[in-house]
Homo-oligomer: A and B are copies of this chain.
Amino acid sequence: MEQHAVTQTKPIQLRGKPIAGGTLPVICTPLVGRTRDAVLSEVDAVLPKQPDVLEWRADYFEALGDTARVIATARSIRERAGATPVLFTRRSSSEGGETITIAEPQVVELYAAICASGLIDLVDYESSNPADNFQRVRAASREHGVALIGSYHNFQATPAADALVAKFALAHKLEADIAKVAVMPKSPSDVLTLLSATYEASETLPIPLISMSMGAYGSVSRMVGAVFGSALTFAVGKSSSAPGQIPIEELRTVLATVRRATGTR
């Protein structure tokens, strides 16, 4: 009578190969330093903890407007990170990121330059950005073999499940390789709404998904999300980038138990 677990969770692929051999979920740790030295010291502190992906949250980087310095810092991250994939993200302030000094057209050109640099494996760009901008980021990332995450964040609330499924679908429609949804719960039942929408999207969309419910309650979605379709979870390596993130060592232990108990990878 026991179910044999089959998960529909699709692993994130880079150049045709799943990250970390297809482990679900992979663990991503954010880098939030404001200076090159701060970012690199985070890399050095985090790498021994063996994250599967590093996310450089470039909206924290004070020299974001200086493309040469961004590229130089990306090169230094890459030199240290070795084979660990690096995700480049400018989270917009309207979706919970830091305030930056450059306008969106410059951000798009920065994404194009980062993609062309060959130093980065994935980029994250919000699906809510003007379609022209998104298409430009899509074209540049595709040209240079960089995977594109189309993302949606809501730090205030959790929209209804249908609306969340639509956000995953929008990213797919915009030809993102991966769709991400991160929302804030106001009650434990909002956490179930996020998981339920993720599972529904995993049944209907052909691309890998990333999702999380933020904050205290939501932290459980960071532990069990892969059972419901999420391929990647964020953990604290040195610094947190969103509420509810768990230290990587603790999260890895929990994920091992979840995988063993559910029979997933």
Contact = CB atoms under 8 A, between A and B. Distances in A.
A184 to B, nearest CB: 7
B216 A2 contact: yes
A258 interface: yes
A216 B246 contact: no
Nearest to A5: B216
A257 B223 contact: yes
A254 B250 CA distance: 9
A135 interface: no
Interface residues of A, number: 46
A216 B4 contact: yes
Interface of A: 1-5, 7, 155-156, 184-189, 191-192, 195-196, 199-200, 214-220, 222-224, 227-229, 243-244, 246, 250-251, 253-254, 257-258, 260-263
A186 B5 CA distance: 9
B244 A261 contact: yes
Given A192-B196, A223-B224, 12 more contacts: A1-B156, A3-B186, A3-B215, A5-B215, A7-B188, A188-B199, A188-B228, A189-B196, A189-B228, A216-B262, A217-B227, A223-B261
12 contacts: A3-B184, A3-B185, A188-B227, A189-B199, A192-B228, A217-B262, A220-B227, A220-B258, A223-B223, A223-B257, A223-B258, A254-B254
Question: How many copies are assembled?
Answer: 2
Nearest to A156: B1
Contacts of A263: 216
A262 B3 contact: no
A243 B138 CA distance: 46
A257 B187 CA distance: 19
B216 A3 contact: yes
B216 A224 contact: no
A121 to B, nearest CB: 28
